[in-house]
Chain A
Amino acid sequence: MAVKAEFDIPVITNVPRTPALREGAMAHSRPFVAKPDHQEPLGFPGELVEDWHDRAIAKMGELLGSYRSLQVFMDACVKCGACTDKCHYYLGTADPKNMPVARQDLMRKVYRRYFTWAGKYFPWLVGAADLTEEVLEEWYAYYHQCSECRRCSVYCPYGIDTAEITMAGREILDSVGMGQKYSNEIIGKVFRIGNNLGLPEPALADTLEGLEEEVKEETDVDVRFPLDEQGADVLLVTPSADFFAEPHVDGLIGYAKIFHQAGIRWTLSSHASEAANFGLFIGSQGNMQRVALRIREAAMELGVKRIIVGECGHAWRVAYSYWNTLIGPFDFLDPDYPAPQHICEATYDLIRQGALRFNKENNDDKVVTFHDSCNVSRGSRMGSMPGGQFIIPREVIKACCNHFVDMRQETIHEGTFCCGGGGGLLTDDLLELRVKGALPRVQSLGEVIEEYGVTHMAAMCAICKSQFTKVLPYYGMGMDMVVSVHHLVGDALELGTDG
């Protein structure tokens, strides 16, 4: 039974289709604006500054000069339309401004007006426009209808990545005092408390202790969940959602069981109790670096030899692609392991070494499919070969499940659809957008449910898992369909002394 909503829930059709344009369909969608308390700790003005126009243009000039991506992407688009049917938000809302090129054009028209010869002298000809209050409002609305999933960048003949433009747009908005409450408040919590959830150290310790008892009760084995343990070999950095609720926490239990069984000494850190890094979402390299730096500090302080990152999509992109640049080099870690390493890479290596034994029958009640997370798929890698990020999690799942099927080819791997809640949009003030944006993924999930009787969709991203548990019921699917990859691992793993 589908949940009721105050907006129309898209209809799942037999054949996925590209909707006809509905201009202005999502013009009303805008997240809560950040208050001064959310802005200032990040170094942004508390509210819209008086000279926002000049400051925004100056900021745009600064970004054009600091990011080759932005400069090239502003110039190179030929409006071929290849991207127009690739964005899940366009497919789900039919609002033409959710077509990647149109989203880019919101900034490109201003770029052309202020930074190009043609736009200065012939604005009407090249679609250039002044930066007015309406344009600023439009930026706010539509740069918060992009989950920075990069699907469009796969299909663009010049590799134009709308995520880069959305990030620039949000950074300009932040710099004039028009930030988004959800992301900025969370970054503030990381600075103040150490994680997105605002879970202080004693509460975290309590939670972990509770988990030890729970696993003991269930398995009769002493699986530990160490916190701040000096001299551990592995520092595990995971999204704080993993400490909090299902389906996330079952993934954390899975990691702990793996470490236990493989005899790896590991620890969590209260100083770096968060893998997520919303600095990425708001395009702020400074804040992203500051958030990431806690992890380097924790690793050095605890004297670990390896850093492993838990199931979190954008966190893995930041860790894999940016950590070495922002907080490296990692010459203090064991060079025999990649730095950082994804938990799926670690598990996969252990499986291949024969260090783990599975009772696949434990998962026989499930027919599992797998949702590739956008940031992992298109912004990172696992293993040593391109595409390892698609192979390794699937191999891990197949090692512990007898029944696995993939969704339709063009909706997995590099063509995967965003869950609809990534990129700093996982907030209830954007619920309509989230439900509609999930349509393409839900569509292909529906197909494998129908055809193969799929009962569970595994994911390896805290945002994906939270988003799906929230929105699947709107489409009449159960929220308990969503499982962590390491939940499946943990359930099938044979715990024992002779492992």
Chain B
Amino acid sequence: MSILTTVVAGLFYLATATLLVGLTRKVVQYARTPAPLKIPTTPAPVTRTGVVLRMVREVVLFESLFKSSKWTWLFGWLFHFGLFVVLLRHLRYFTEPVWGWVALVQSAGIYAGYAMVIGLAGLWARRVLVDRVRYISAPSDHLMLALLVGIGGSGLLMKYVWHTDVVALKAFVLGLLRLDLSPLPADPLLVIHLLLVACLMFIFPVSKLLHAPGVFFSPTRNQVDNPRERRHVTGEA
């Protein structure tokens, strides 16, 4: 087995462990921290079902962001939805035989790759061009965009310009899952793509990417507006 294969495989095991442990710790922290008072941003749903629907609209459609800024919404939604479909497309590397619906989203996944990168470009342009957004941006905010553009860009390049050996790649990925390593194709672009993804997995639990689990725990969005009807008491704190 080449050093490259061993190093990249080792890195992915470590990245996966970091991501899972790190996210679990944060989710447990969020879940354990009490919410002593009722603070839904009203008007808010008055039933649990209503809250679930509000959360679905928030997570799927970015409802609040839509109210707020149409450009940010457009680029943000393009990026996230694109990423989501791209991830679904990538399931083909993890499943053997490939599930039927994963086969179906393959072509959509290509368009999604473009959507993702266009969305990121739009968000980055706002970060540079709008004085208010420029003011609130730290170096890490730019780097995060660079990282994601790097991941999306290297992926698109592999699809259209410098193809990689996807059959060998799939064998490598399945080998990772089965703890029985197969060699990784030594394409520079592929290696870069994978290293950037591992990097993203490492920083996920220690960065603003925590907005992903965080939104589900946001009391202003996940609380039912029923303080008069039901006494809200938290045992802890």
The answer to whether A159 touches B43, judged by C-beta atoms less than 8 angstroms apart, is no
Q: Which residues of A contact B206 (CB under 8 A)?
A: 116-118
Question: Which secondary structure characterizes the binding site on chain B?
Answer: helix
Our pick among B35, B37, B139 for the contact of A321 (Cβ within 8 Å) is B37
Contacts known (A72-B217, A77-B211); A156 close to B64, Cβ less than 8 A: yes
Q: Which residue of chain B has the shortest Cβ distance to A158 in the bound complex?
A: B215
The answer to whether B33 touches A65, judged by C-beta atoms less than 8 angstroms apart, is yes
Which among A1-9, A200-208, A376-384, A452-460 touches the partner chain? A376-384
A-B contact count (CB 8 A): 207
Which residues of A158-200 are within 8 A (CB) of B?
158-161, 164
The answer to whether A157 touches B58, judged by C-beta atoms less than 8 angstroms apart, is yes
The answer to whether B42 touches A125, judged by C-beta atoms less than 8 angstroms apart, is no
Which residues of A380-399 are within 8 A (CB) of B?
380-381, 384-387, 389-390
Q: Which residues of B contact A117 (CB under 8 A)?
A: 206
Q: Which residue of chain A has the shortest Cβ distance to B76 in the bound complex?
A: A80
Bound-state Cα–Cα, A122 to B143, Å: 13
Residue B69 at the chain A interface, CB threshold 8 Å: yes
The answer to whether B220 touches A81, judged by C-beta atoms less than 8 angstroms apart, is no
The answer to whether B43 touches A386, judged by C-beta atoms less than 8 angstroms apart, is yes
Residue A219 at the chain B interface, CB threshold 8 Å: no
Bound-state Cα–Cα, A173 to B50, Å: 38
Which residues of B36-87 are within 8 A (CB) of A?
36-39, 41-46, 50, 58, 62, 64-65, 67-69, 72, 76
The answer to whether B217 touches A68, judged by C-beta atoms less than 8 angstroms apart, is yes
The answer to whether A321 touches B138, judged by C-beta atoms less than 8 angstroms apart, is no
* B172: min CB distance to chain A, Å: 30
Residue A209 at the chain B interface, CB threshold 8 Å: no
Bound-state Cα–Cα, A125 to B139, Å: 5
The answer to whether B38 touches A321, judged by C-beta atoms less than 8 angstroms apart, is yes
Known: A68-B30, A77-B211. 5 other contacts (CB 8 A): A79-B208, A80-B69, A99-B136, A389-B42, A414-B41
User: 10 closest A-B pairs (Cβ-Cβ)?
Assistant: A76-B214, A127-B138, A155-B68, A159-B220, A81-B133, A386-B43, A84-B132, A82-B68, A159-B221, A68-B33
Chain B: residues with CB nearer than 8 A to chain A?
Answer: 26, 29-30, 33-39, 41-46, 50, 58, 62, 64-65, 67-69, 72, 76, 123, 126-127, 130-133, 135-141, 143, 203, 206-208, 210-211, 214-215, 217-221, 225, 227-228, 231-233, 237
A-B contact pairs, 5 of them (CB 8 A): A78-B141, A78-B211, A82-B65, A324-B231, A325-B38
